[in-house]
Amino acid sequence: MAQRLHLVFGGELVDPSKNVFKDIDDLHIVGMYPSYAEAYDAWKAEAQKTVDNAHMRYYIAHIHRLRDEELEASPTEELGH
């Protein structure tokens, strides 16, 4: 069975209408979670803490979607990049 990892992270945006972080070095990595439900709970808790700051955003990244072990590697991956 494939593991379905989810990363919860957030930070301050340059403009609330765009997904561009003001300072990548200042990103808040909340954590990695084995299910969407757990990731959602973590996301919601962090988002609620910053509800008064329109520039703060938290996201759930579906890490398991980035790589499928059953698929052939891409040309770039085969080069080690």
At 78 the pLDDT is 47
Asked if pLDDT for residue 79 goes beyond 70, the answer is: no
State the DSSP code for 14. S
Reported as a single tens digit per residue, the pLDDT across 22-46 is 999 999 999 999 999 999 999 999 9
Given pLDDT bands bounded at 50, 70 and 90, which one contains residue 3? confident
- Amino acid identity for residue 32 in this structure: M
| Model pTM score | 0.77
CATH classification of 6-78, choosing from 3.40.630.40, 3.30.460.80, 3.30.70.2400, 3.40.50.300? 3.30.70.2400
Mean pLDDT of the chain: 86
Q: Compare 6 and 79 and report the one with higher pLDDT.
A: 6
Q: Are strands 6-12 and 56-62 parallel, antiparallel or unpaired?
A: antiparallel
| Domain boundaries along the sequence of the chain | 6-78
